[in-house]
Structure 1
Amino acid sequence: MTTQNREDYLINILRLTEGENATRTTELASYMNIAPASVTEMLKILSSEGLVEYEKYHGVKLTEEGLDYARVIRKKHHVLENFLINFLNVDKTTAHNEACRLEHALSEESAIKMCQMLGIQVDSDCQSCSTPCNAVLSEGIRITASLSDLNPGEHGVISHLKNNDSKVIKKLMMMGFIPGRKLTMDPDPYSNNVTIVDLGESVVALPADLASSVFIDTSE
């Protein structure tokens, strides 16, 4: 069984159950447009690998290991869809189909970096990320601070961007606010309703209304 085939089964079981209930073999077969007999054989293999709990006539559900695996794949899918739609202006149907193919090849490290660049909303699948980015870790824990909260002369590394408007994220990236880049606040950073930031190779005057979309890890 190929990795892609395994992941297709796991993510579709997750879509049908959300990791809480079992789904019948016939339901999964219909959802994936695969013969029930073929689905049964694959479920036996996944069960032997500890990824699902399968019992004939009682359906199939994900184990904790299988649930984590499936959530990581679905998160990659969400990241790819958002990138294709918001950055490349691909229509939603095409983006979904492309993400279905690409999600199997995208590494988790690259998915995290794309999350940080995209500024997409954190979703429930982030809980299964092996190395959660600061966008996840900072929920309820002050690991990062928005640029608008930094003090004059304070410095750090851009952790992630976050805004519901993809145009704002694009604008910030074009201005040089790329996750992983070091910055230092100007000694007098709030002149004329702009935030003045030293990005190493350039000094940028960022409109104050955009500063709250840039998050900084000041522990670096």
Structure 2
Amino acid sequence: MADGKISENIEEYLEVLYRNGSNGEQVSTTQLSKDLGIAPGSVTQMLKKLEDLGYIVYTPYKGATLTDDGMQIAQKITRKHRILEKFLLDILKVKEENIHDQACEMEHTLSDEAERALCTMMHHPDLCPDENIIPACNFDFESCQQCYSQKDFDQVINRKFNLLSISELTSSTEGTISFIRGNEDLLGEITDNGIKVGQHLKYEYNENRIGNHYLVTIDDEELNIPAEMANNIFIKV
């Protein structure tokens, strides 16, 4: 288990909820049943348990959404899974068709310290092999450079709130830029565009968006941000 108080079964449910509703979307019991390969009745029972634990808000016959506490756990386990997939494929050269199942087995036992080391070794990846966003870490840094500068993991503290990258937003959303991920070159490129931690960002979701850019407003200035930046600019929502 990634946490002595949280079972692997609970982590799996929260991970699937995050995968289908990372921006607060309601995920149906049918979708959960399909993704988990579990009967709808059993899914309903677990959703009631998860609501009692404070991890989700469950609406009978409609579905569930993650609470802030549930989101924190879901992002953490999803991040570990996707980092492991990238490590298995890019570093260990495991066959692509095998990496998902192996990452599923490893994600529950990967320590936070080892996760941080993998992230640093792979130069802060933003996408897993399926090109899904790797969520931000939950360490209390404003950039990867700050993280790298802190050599003693025992001195690393956890962030008190959840983050979403611009690329993960699936509805009109606004919040404060609170973390920027990437190597020195990417961080410099983002800074050169006048983007920094502490600014207010507003995103008007457009499901018909064309191209590989995201139109956002940052401190009243409209910017068209390419995906490689949007994947790595995180806001507190």
TM-score exceeds 0.5: yes
**Residue in 2 aligned with 1:13?**
17
Are residue 91 (structure 1) and residue 95 (structure 2) matched? yes
Compared with structure 1, are the counterparts of its residues 47 and 119 closer, same or farther at alpha carbon in structure 2 (3 Å cutoff)? Answer: same
Q: Is the 8 A contact 2:80 2:115 kept in 1?
A: yes
Q: Is the 8 A contact 1:118 1:162 kept in 2?
A: no
The 2-side partners of 1:20 and 1:136 are apart by: 30
Are residue 121 (structure 1) and residue 125 (structure 2) matched? yes
The 1-side partners of 2:142 and 2:120 are apart by: 8
| Structure 2 gaps, min length 5 | 127-132, 152-181, 185-237
**Residue in 2 aligned with 1:58?**
62
Are residue 111 (structure 1) and residue 120 (structure 2) matched? no
Please state whether the residue corresponding to 2:54 is helix, strand or coil.
coil
Report the alpha carbon displacement of residue 135 of structure 1 after superposing the two structures with TM: 1.4
**Residue in 1 aligned with 2:86?**
82
The 1-side partners of 2:73 and 2:6 are apart by: 15
Give the total of aligned pairs: 145
The 1-side partners of 2:6 and 2:112 are apart by: 18
Report the alpha carbon displacement of residue 68 of structure 1 after superposing the two structures with TM: 1.3
Q: 1:67 aligns with which of 42, 66, 71?
A: 71
The 2-side partners of 1:2 and 1:42 are apart by: 14
Report the alpha carbon displacement of residue 99 of structure 1 after superposing the two structures with TM: 0.4
The 2-side partners of 1:3 and 1:19 are apart by: 24
Compared with structure 1, are the counterparts of its residues 137 and 70 closer, same or farther at alpha carbon in structure 2 (3 Å cutoff)? Answer: farther
Compared with structure 1, are the counterparts of its residues 137 and 62 closer, same or farther at alpha carbon in structure 2 (3 Å cutoff)? Answer: farther
Report the alpha carbon displacement of residue 56 of structure 1 after superposing the two structures with TM: 0.7
Please state whether the residue corresponding to 1:125 is helix, strand or coil.
coil
Q: Is the 8 A contact 2:51 2:58 kept in 1?
A: yes
Q: Is the 8 A contact 2:124 2:144 kept in 1?
A: no
Q: Is the 8 A contact 1:76 1:103 kept in 2?
A: yes
Q: Is the 8 A contact 2:83 2:134 kept in 1?
A: no
Please state whether the residue corresponding to 1:53 is helix, strand or coil.
strand
Q: 1:135 aligns with which of 139, 144, 149?
A: 144
The 2-side partners of 1:18 and 1:117 are apart by: 27
Please state whether the residue corresponding to 1:60 is helix, strand or coil.
strand
Q: Is the 8 A contact 1:76 1:106 kept in 2?
A: yes
**Residue in 2 aligned with 1:213?**
none
Q: Is the 8 A contact 1:112 1:133 kept in 2?
A: no
Please state whether the residue corresponding to 1:13 is helix, strand or coil.
helix
Runs of 4 or more consecutive aligned structure 1 residues displaced over 2 Å after TM superposition? 120-124, 130-134
Please state whether the residue corresponding to 1:61 is helix, strand or coil.
strand
**Residue in 1 aligned with 2:39?**
35
Give 1:166-185 correspondences, 5 Å limit. none
The 2-side partners of 1:136 and 1:29 are apart by: 41
Task: Please identify which structure carries the higher helix content.
Answer: 1
Report the alpha carbon displacement of residue 124 of structure 1 after superposing the two structures with TM: 5.7
* Identical counterparts, % of pairs: 31
**Residue in 2 aligned with 1:22?**
26
Compared with structure 1, are the counterparts of its residues 87 and 10 closer, same or farther at alpha carbon in structure 2 (3 Å cutoff)? Answer: same
The 2-side partners of 1:26 and 1:110 are apart by: 35
| Structure 1 gaps, min length 5 | 145-155, 164-220
Q: Is the 8 A contact 1:47 1:53 kept in 2?
A: yes
